[in-house]
């Protein structure tokens, strides 16, 4: 009986020992995005922009990269003009470089008075009758805006993004957003080659910039490593320069 | 056709029935579970949003109270009129009496949570946190819409709908009537941890000396938050480099190196610059030695 018990315990121990995998070696990619709005402007960090890391080389991701490069371009202003946004709303978005109405709080000045944005004033009035409370009507103002003006631009871009990333068979695509210094970290990466891309072009000054860069991550690469710098201008520290295209003419103009 | 049933069969049958009744536990009507199959209808079957008297208890439209009796009586009439103090009343009422309709706070804080919360930080970062090239003063800390300061040390996490409904009241999916858009029935009732575990408990978000250098953009240190599509597995995720960029710089502060040197001389040394005693008396992780450019050692190795 003891022998049987001992044998079982031994077998369990052997199976457990075999099932314990060595820890997966991973690396970190420290990204820094530095851009110039025009030649006279200083280089500065591109804040709050999402970047993607697609597994595989540029060649392996040729279909995705080609689709990214050839996608029809729509600018933020163009989208809002096409959807009938007032000039005041477009200016309000521009002031904060906002892509949607959610990116900054809507202050009282923009709801009533001379600086009022017409869409906000209408939504505010609806909220007043719905909630019977001015402060809730203002703070919850977006709930009374039309879907197109509220987050239509974001949803459109998400649809394009999803469609573009489906072009390839790249596996799990990581994405992170840059901080105010234009820095972002991709963590827990398996050692491999990746394509670093913003997928959707970024509006910088009067141009749209797209990055598709091949990066190599080694096991043990750390957050302390020299950052991988990308830009829209060539420089000695820049590892990858984005492709700039002029802003397309908006059909609504 | 005549079926003959023997007395012995009847006795056996009765015995079996008695045992079966004994084995099957009686329903406990003092406990309400959303997991009960018959409670699995649409949330709006019982919960009306907003509660009709929400202004009495909430600064914004919300579900502020338990469903009306009608939601229960339609199926549980028998339990409603069972005895002087029907157990079913105690689900919502703090006193079981027809003369007293006082109810527990909604939601009853003493009961376990039955629903998990879904929150994709990545999507919210995309729409809330976009503020590039804004005019000064720049306010990047849009995270404070939901995570205001609890104390100078830690930030709060949302405990109600106040930071959800301002966008998701209606139209913006998932809206307030689609409870399931954010709340999923948990596998089992659970108790929420009030605070996440902290490694560097001496860190103060509003600190960093006179110039308050800790007041930075949240994602500068919480480097993984912008990729988090779910709350599951979410950790504060601040790498040591976020601290040592200032606290272990050659020619400037050497807070980490100083403690590792002290530890190398005394195995009982407690790292206390950042950590409380329970964390500071453990072996320092390899990442710390790497930053300080020292070979990693354990306390056992130190004489």
Averaged pLDDT for residues A122-145: 95
pLDDT value of residue B132: 47
Residue A47 — very low, low, confident or very high, per pLDDT cuts 50/70/90?
A: confident
In the A/B pair of chains, how many CB contacts fall below 8 A? 109
Single pTM value for the model: 0.82
Does A187 contact B223 at a Cβ distance shorter than 8 Å? Answer: yes
* pLDDT at res. A16: 55
- Using pLDDT thresholds of 50, 70 and 90, give the confidence band for residue A4: low
Q: Would the pLDDT of B22 be above 80?
A: no
Residue % of chain A over a pLDDT of 90: 66
Q: Is the pLDDT of residue A67 over 90?
A: yes
Q: What is the pLDDT of residue B135?
A: 47
Confidence of residue B266 (pLDDT cuts 50, 70, 90): very high
Q: Say whether pLDDT at A130 is over 70.
A: yes
Over pLDDT 70: what percentage of chain B? 85
Containing B149, the helix (H) or strand (E) segment is none
Chain segment B54-104, per-residue pLDDT in tens? 999 999 999 999 999 999 998 999 998 888 889 999 999 998 877 888 999
Give the model's pLDDT for residue B134: 45
Q: For residue B141, what pLDDT is reported?
A: 56
Among A14-18, A181-185, B142-146, where is mean pLDDT lowest? A14-18
Q: For residue A252, is pLDDT > 70?
A: no
Residue of B nearest to A136 (CA): B60
| Residue B252: pLDDT band with limits 50, 70, 90 | confident
Pairwise CB contact (< 8 Å): A224 & B241? yes
- pLDDT score at A6: 57
What's the gap in Å between the CA of A63 and the closest CA on chain B? 24
Copy the structure tokens of residue B27.
Answer: 């329903």
Q: Is the pLDDT of residue A118 over 80?
A: yes
Q: Which of A10-14, A201-205, B68-72, B151-155 shows the lowest per-residue confidence on average (mean pLDDT)?
A: A10-14
Among B252, B251, B248, B250, which residue's Cα sits nearest to residue B260? Answer: B248
Range among A193-197, B223-227, B229-233, B246-250 with highest mean pLDDT value: A193-197
**Residue A229, token pair as written in the block:** 């710098």
Q: Which of A70-79, B236-245, B277-286 shows the lowest mean pLDDT across its residues?
A: B236-245
Q: Where are the alpha helices (DSSP H) in A132-217?
A: 134-139, 147, 153-165
Q: Which of A30, A44, A29 is nearest to A235 (CA)?
A: A44
Which has more confidence, A189 or B138?
A: A189
CB B126 to CB A154 under 8 A? yes
The answer to whether residue A76 neighbours chain B at the CB level (below 8 Å) is no
Beta strands in B26-173 (DSSP E): 113-117
Asked if the Cβ–Cβ distance from A154 to B127 is below 8 Å, we say: yes
pLDDT-wise least confident of A126-135, A204-213, B213-222, B239-248: B213-222
Mean pLDDT on A156-164: 93
Best of A143, A153, A182, A206 to disrupt the B interface (most B CBs within 10 Å) is: A143
The answer to whether the Cβ–Cβ distance between A177 and B125 falls below 8 Å is yes
Q: What is the residue whose two structure tokens read 């096409």?
A: A82
pLDDT digits (tens, 9 = 90+) for B110-133: 899 999 999 999 999 888 866 544
Q: Which residue would you say has higher pLDDT here, A207 or A171?
A: A207
Q: What is the DSSP track for A14-47?
A: HHHHHH-PPPPP-EEEEEEEEE-SSTTSPPEE--
Residue A216: pLDDT above 70?
A: yes
Given pLDDT bands bounded at 50, 70 and 90, which one contains residue B11? confident
CA quadruple B278, B284, B285, B289: dihedral, nearest 10:
160
**What is residue A170's predicted lDDT score, i.e. its pLDDT?**
64
Q: Provide mean pLDDT across the span A156-185.
A: 89
Lowest mean pLDDT among B7-16, B67-76, B169-178: B7-16
Select the more confidently predicted residue: A114 or A2: A114
- DSSP assignment letter at A231: E
Query: B170, B225 in Cβ contact below 8 A?
Result: no
> A49, A177, A221: best mutation site toward chain B, by most B Cβ within 10 Å?
A177
What ranges make up the beta strands (E) of chain B?
113-117, 183-190
Using a CB-CB cut-off of 8 Å, the residues of chain A touching B166 are: 139-140, 142-143
Q: Does A167 touch chain B (CB under 8 A)?
A: no
Residue percentage of chain B with pLDDT more than 90: 46
Work out the burial of residue B287: count CB atoms within 10 Å of its CB; fewer than 13 is exposed, 13-18 middle, 19 or more buried.
middle
Contact A224 B290 (CB under 8 A): yes
Question: From the CA of B70, how many Å to the nearest CA of chain A?
Answer: 27
pLDDT given for residue B133 in this prediction:
45
For residue B166, the distance in angstroms to the closest alpha carbon of chain A comes to 4
**Is A107's pLDDT higher than 70?**
yes
Confidence of residue B151 (pLDDT cuts 50, 70, 90): low
Residue of A nearest to B218 (CA): A179
Q: Which of residues 107-146 of A touch B (CB under 8 A)?
A: 131, 136, 139-140, 142-145
**CB pair distance less than 8 Å for B128 and A95:** no
Residue B49 has pLDDT above 70, yes or no: yes
Q: What is the ipTM of this complex?
A: 0.82
Note the pLDDT of residue B173: 93
């Amino acid at each position: 009986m003891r022998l049987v018990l001992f044998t079982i315990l031994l077998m369990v121990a052997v199976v457990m020992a075999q099932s314990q995998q060595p820890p997966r070696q991973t690396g970190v990619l420290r990204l820094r995005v530095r851009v110039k709005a025009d030649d006279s402007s200083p280089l500065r960090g591109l804040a709050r922009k999402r970047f993607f890391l697609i597994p595989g080389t540029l060649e392996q991701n040729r279909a995705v990269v080609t689709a990214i490069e050839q996608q029809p371009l729509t600018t933020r202003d163009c989208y809002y003009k096409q959807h009938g946004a007032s000039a005041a709303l477009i200016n309000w978005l521009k002031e904060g470089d906002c892509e949607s109405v959610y990116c900054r709080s809507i202050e009282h000045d923009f709801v009533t008075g001379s600086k009022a944005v017409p869409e906000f004033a209408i939504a505010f009035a609806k909220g007043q009758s719905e909630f019977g409370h001015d402060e809730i009507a203002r703070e919850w103002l977006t709930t009374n805006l039309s879907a197109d003006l509220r987050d239509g631009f974001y949803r459109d871009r998400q649809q394009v993004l999803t469609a573009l990333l489906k072009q390839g068979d790249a596996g799990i695509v990581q994405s992170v957003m840059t901080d105010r210094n234009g820095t972002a970290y991709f963590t827990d990466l398996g050692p491999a080659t990746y394509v670093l891309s913003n997928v959707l072009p970024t509006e910088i000054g009067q141009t749209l910039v797209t990055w598709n860069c091949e990066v190599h991550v080694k096991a043990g690469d750390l957050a302390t490593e020299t950052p991988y710098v990308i830009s829209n201008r060539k420089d000695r520290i820049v590892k990858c320069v984005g492709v700039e295209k002029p802003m397309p003419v908006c059909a609504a103009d | 056709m005549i079926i003959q049933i023997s007395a012995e069969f009847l006795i056996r049958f009765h015995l079996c029935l008695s045992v079966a009744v004994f084995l099957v536990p009686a329903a406990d009507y003092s406990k309400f579970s959303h997991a009960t199959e018959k409670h699995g209808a649409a949330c709006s079957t019982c919960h009306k949003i907003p509660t009709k008297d929400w202004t009495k208890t909430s600064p914004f439209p919300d579900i502020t109270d338990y469903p009306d009796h009608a939601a229960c009586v339609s199926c549980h009439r028998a339990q409603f009129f069972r005895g002087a103090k029907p157990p079913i009343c105690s689900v919502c009422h703090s006193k079981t009496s027809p003369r007293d309709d006082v109810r527990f706070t909604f939601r009853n804080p003493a009961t376990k949570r039955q629903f998990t919360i879904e929150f994709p930080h990545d999507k919210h970062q995309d729409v809330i946190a976009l503020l590039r090239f804004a005019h000064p003063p720049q306010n990047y800390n849009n995270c404070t819409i939901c995570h205001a300061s609890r104390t100078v040390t830690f930030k709060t996490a949302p405990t109600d709908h106040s930071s959800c409904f301002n966008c998701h009241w209606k139209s913006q999916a998932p809206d307030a009537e689609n409870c399931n858009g954010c709340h999923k029935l948990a596998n089992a009732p659970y108790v929420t941890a009030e605070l996440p575990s902290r490694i560097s408990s001496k860190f103060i978000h509003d600190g960093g000396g006179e110039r308050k250098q800790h007041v930075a953009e949240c994602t500068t240190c919480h480097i993984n938050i912008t990729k988090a599509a779910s709350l599951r597995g979410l950790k504060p995720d601040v790498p040591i480099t976020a601290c040592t960029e200032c606290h272990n710089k050659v020619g400037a502060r050497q807070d980490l190196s100083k403690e590792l040197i002290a530890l190398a001389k005394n195995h009982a040394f407690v790292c206390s610059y950042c950590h409380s005693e329970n964390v500071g008396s453990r072996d320092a992780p390899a990442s710390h030695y790497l930053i300080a450019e020292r070979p990693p050692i354990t306390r056992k190795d130190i004489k």
